[in-house]
């Protein structure tokens, strides 16, 4: 790897002996996942975003799904055993996770929240997720991501 500064996400992968690749691009502000994938020449279908939600119980959850998809809130709530879930407000993201919008990774948050990855991830050999900062993407095996974050897999993408 070049002289790229490592993120918490990268350190966690290395500690767990997970092979991964990093791609970066110059980004001074938030860029949505579809645009990021296009900038890097990545397959949009293999590019996944990280959303943080809260349930009726007050617990927080992490949902990882394709960047071009919307979350099925009913399915997401069912996957974590809640009546309903809603996305947290963007101003809550950094204090809760340590990440900023557009750079939120399911790896390396301040606390490991229960994580659900959309089942479409398992249809690919590798997927792309945020590397932990805007303009940084990690490519890794979905099985490795599932193992490291101890994720559940469910159909959470709105159809």
Domain ranges of the chain: 25-154
| Alpha carbon distance 49, 120 (integer Å) | 13
Class of domain 25-154: alpha beta
pTM here is 0.93
Say whether pLDDT at 1 is over 50.
Answer: no
Closest residue by Cα to residue 33 from 57, 14, 50: 50
Q: Show contacts of 141-144: CB within 8 Å, 24+ apart.
A: 141/18, 141/19, 142/117, 144/13, 144/16, 144/18, 144/19, 144/20
pLDDT digits (tens, 9 = 90+) for 54-89: 999 999 999 999 999 999 999 999 999 999 999 999
Q: How many residues does the chain have?
A: 159
């Amino acid at each position: 790897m070049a002289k790229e500064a490592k993120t918490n996400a990268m350190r966690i992968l290395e500690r767990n002996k997970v092979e991964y690749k990093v791609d970066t691009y110059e980004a001074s502000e938030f860029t949505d996942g579809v645009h990021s994938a296009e900038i890097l020449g990545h397959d949009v279908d293999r590019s996944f975003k990280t959303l943080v939600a809260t349930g009726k119980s007050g617990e927080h959850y992490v949902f990882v799904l394709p960047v071009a998809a919307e979350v099925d809130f009913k399915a997401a709530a069912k996957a974590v055993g809640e009546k309903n879930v809603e996305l947290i407000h963007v101003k809550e993201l950094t204090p809760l996770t340590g990440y900023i919008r557009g750079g939120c990774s399911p790896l390396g948050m301040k606390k490991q929240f229960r994580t659900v990855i959309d089942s479409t991830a398992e249809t690919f050999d590798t997927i792309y997720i945020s590397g932990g900062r805007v303009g940084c993407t990690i490519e890794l095996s979905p099985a490795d991501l599932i193992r490291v974050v101890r994720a559940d897999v469910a159909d959470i993408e709105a159809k």
